[in-house]
């Protein structure tokens, strides 16, 4: 069994997920790089190792039951433990000009794909990893959400919330709700589960049209993944503190 704490980051081959893996690696975690494409996964693992991280590749498509089960078996075999799960993989699906997903003309396949990846994918991967997380002394789950999932902010005329994204944004509200229910289930234990918003980050996701770096976006997830026992659970954070639901 690994002496070091072990983390799995989904969608870690690029963007914010890659930087979460790099940050946890720099803190001494052994990091499983969850990624669906072999070439992109191995290239990320190579870069992380070159930077000094103890990284290993975990083939993982969050939309596949078998893929999630196989990923859990691989981590059990390679590391024998899992302390941290960061559910970072996410998609927004197609949008119209200005990133708008108009609710009145939504392509239902885009809605289904968003829910399958951003919500069901998180439940699928979490439940596959739970047997190992339950054995960890201080397990942490971080769900990468977005402030666009905050219904409070979406309905506050004083807050600039960006375009209407009627397929993507509701999946983050759904993910927030799921986070609350995991936190309720594990209340009174050492397993802490929270949602995080990285801010508006320059990655493929935003066409690199955003003010924050992926490293800045990764910071809140790293903080929640590494906080001591007794920390908050069932909450939603950005760098500046709690985001209202
Ligand atoms: N960027 C922002 O401003 C922003 C703001 C708020 C929240 N977020 C959230 O932050 C997370 C990361 O976003 P990002 O900006 O880093 O996006 P990104 O650069 O597009 O990276 C997304 C990652 O998710 C992976 N992924 C997508 N579908 C997957 C699947 N079915 N199975 C496994 N991996 C899958 C991608 O893998 P492939 O390379 O194989 O596609 C990629 O590694 C997402 O959950 C996003 O919703 C981002």
The three-class DSSP label of residue 86 is strand
CB 167 within 8 A of CB 110: yes
Burial label, 54 (beta-carbon count in 10 A; 0-12, 13-18, 19+): middle
**Amino acid 2: pLDDT:** 75
pLDDT tens track for 152-173? 999 999 999 999 999 999 999 9
The residue whose CA has the least distance to atom 33 of ligand 1 is 61
Split at pLDDT 50, 70, 90, the class of 140 is: very high
Q: Give the per-residue pLDDT at 1.
A: 74
Atom of ligand 1 nearest to the CA of 210: 3
Q: Which fold has domain 6-242?
A: Rossmann fold (3.40.50)
DSSP string, 2-47: -SS-EEEEET-SSHHHHHHHHHHHHTT-EEEEEES-HHHHHHHHHH
Mean pLDDT for 169-183 is 98
Q: How far apart are CA 92 and CA 11, in angstroms?
A: 14
Mutate which of 9, 205, 222, 243 to test ligand 1's pocket (most atoms within 8 Å of Cβ)?
Answer: 205
User: Residue 49: in which H helix or E strand, if any?
Assistant: helix 38-50
Say whether pLDDT at 58 is over 80: yes
Task: Name residues whose C-beta falls within 8 Å of residue 129's C-beta, 6 or more positions apart in sequence.
Answer: 8, 71, 72, 75, 82, 85
Residue-wise pLDDT for 64-102, tens only, equals: 999 999 999 999 999 999 999 999 999 999 999 999 999
pTM: 0.98
Which ligand 1 atom sits closest to the C-alpha of 117?
31
pLDDT at residue 214, rounded to an integer: 98
Residues 6+ apart with CB under 8 A from 126: 85, 87, 141, 182
Residue 173 confidence (pLDDT):
98
| pLDDT > 90 fraction of the chain, expressed in percent and rounded | 99
Closest CA to 200 of 214, 181, 189: 214
Q: What is the mean pLDDT of residues 144-156?
A: 98
pLDDT per residue as tens digits for the range 182-212: 999 999 999 999 999 999 999 999 999 999 9
Active site residue 168: yes
Task: Break the chain into its structural domains and give their ranges.
Answer: 6-242
Ligand 1 touching residue 67 (CB < 6 A): no
């Amino acid at each position: 069994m690994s002496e070091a704490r072990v983390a799995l980051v989904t969608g870690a081959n690029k963007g914010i997920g890659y930087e979460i893996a790099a940050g946890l690696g720099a803190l001494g975690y052994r990091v499983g790089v969850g990624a669906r494409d072999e070439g992109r996964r191995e290239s990320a693992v190579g870069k992380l190792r070159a930077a000094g991280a103890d990284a290993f590749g975990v083939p993982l498509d969050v939309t596949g039951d078998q893929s999630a089960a196989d990923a859990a078996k691989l981590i059990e075999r390679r590391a024998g433990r899992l302390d941290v799960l960061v559910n970072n993989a996410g998609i927004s699906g197609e949008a119209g000009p200005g990133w708008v997903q108009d609710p009145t003309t939504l392509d239902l396949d885009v809605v289904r794909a968003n829910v399958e990846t951003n919500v069901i994918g998180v439940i699928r991967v979490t439940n596959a990893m739970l047997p190992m997380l339950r054995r960890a002394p201080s397990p942490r789950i971080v769900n990468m959400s977005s402030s666009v999932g905050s219904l409070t902010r979406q309905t506050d005329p004083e807050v600039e919330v960006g375009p209407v994204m009627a397929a993507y944004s509701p999946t983050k509200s759904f993910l927030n709700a799921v986070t609350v229910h995991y936190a309720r289930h594990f209340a009174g234990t050492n397993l802490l589960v929270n949602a995080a918003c990285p801010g508006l980050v320059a990655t493929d996701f935003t066409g690199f049209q955003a003010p924050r770096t992926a490293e800045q976006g990764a910071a809140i997830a790293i903080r929640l993944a590494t906080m001591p026992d007794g920390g908050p659970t069932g909450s939603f954070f950005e760098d500046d503190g709690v985001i209202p639901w």
